[in-house]
């Protein structure tokens, strides 16, 4: 409607049915609904075959990247592979990959079980003989915390460090009866 007068615009609107009569949206809604359904069905039909193939290729690509680098995080994999984190996670789940953290524990030998049973029996006999024996025992534990900043990063099962003596702090706590002794923060090694 380039360079039309106000009367010409009103005339065109009246001719198109925008005058005194009420507008009927029912036909417009049906037309839009039919068009939308046809377009969606066409897109689904076009993308269905490609999507399965793409998913299989993605799955193989994700699996291969985690075989090559087991320390790879989902965020890094999504950046390297150019797909969303959810797609990487979903493919890992289908491949039956599970998140894990390596936990280092003290090695237990075969004779440790017998020694534990023997210690428990001795302690039970002493507790039965002397009712005041248990409150006189100090239960203690210590832990070492390394101050290398790993709390903000994804912990890895193997991390190369170029320092011979990493910074750490040791914490010692004891329980004596119903009292807590400590915590004591100690720099250096606990021997």
β-sheet with 179-187: strand ranges across? 138-146, 168-176, 179-187
pLDDT of residue 122: 92
How crowded is residue 157: how many other Cβ atoms within 10 Å of its Cβ?
Answer: 11
pLDDT of residue 152: 46
State both tokens at 18: 């925008």
Mean pLDDT by 10 residues, the chain (191 residues): 72 66 64 69 53 70 85 86 85 81 74 89 90 84 72 52 68 86 79 62
Domain boundaries, the chain: 9-94, 110-187
pLDDT of residue 118: 93
pTM confidence score:
0.34
pLDDT of residue 125: 92
């Amino acid at each position: 409607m380039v360079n039309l007068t106000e009367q010409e615009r009103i005339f065109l609107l009246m001719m198109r049915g925008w005058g005194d009569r009420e507008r009927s949206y029912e036909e417009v809604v049906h037309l839009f609904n039919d068009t939308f359904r046809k377009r969606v069905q066409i897109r689904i039909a076009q993308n269905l075959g490609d999507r399965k193939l793409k998913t299989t290729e993605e799955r193989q690509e994700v699996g291969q990247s985690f075989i090559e680098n087991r320390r790879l995080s989902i965020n890094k994999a999504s950046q390297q592979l150019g797909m969303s984190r959810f797609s990487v996670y979903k493919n890992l789940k289908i491949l039956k990959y599970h998140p894990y953290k390596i936990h280092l524990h003290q090695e237990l030998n075969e004779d440790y079980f017998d020694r534990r049973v023997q210690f428990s029996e001795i302690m039970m006999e002493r507790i039965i003989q002397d009712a005041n024996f248990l409150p006189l025992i100090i239960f203690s534990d210590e832990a070492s915390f390394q101050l290398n900043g790993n709390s903000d990063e994804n912990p890895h099962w193997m991390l190369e460090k170029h320092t011979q003596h990493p910074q750490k702090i040791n914490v010692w706590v004891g329980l004596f009866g119903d009292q807590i002794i400590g915590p004591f923060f100690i720099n250096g090694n606990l021997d």
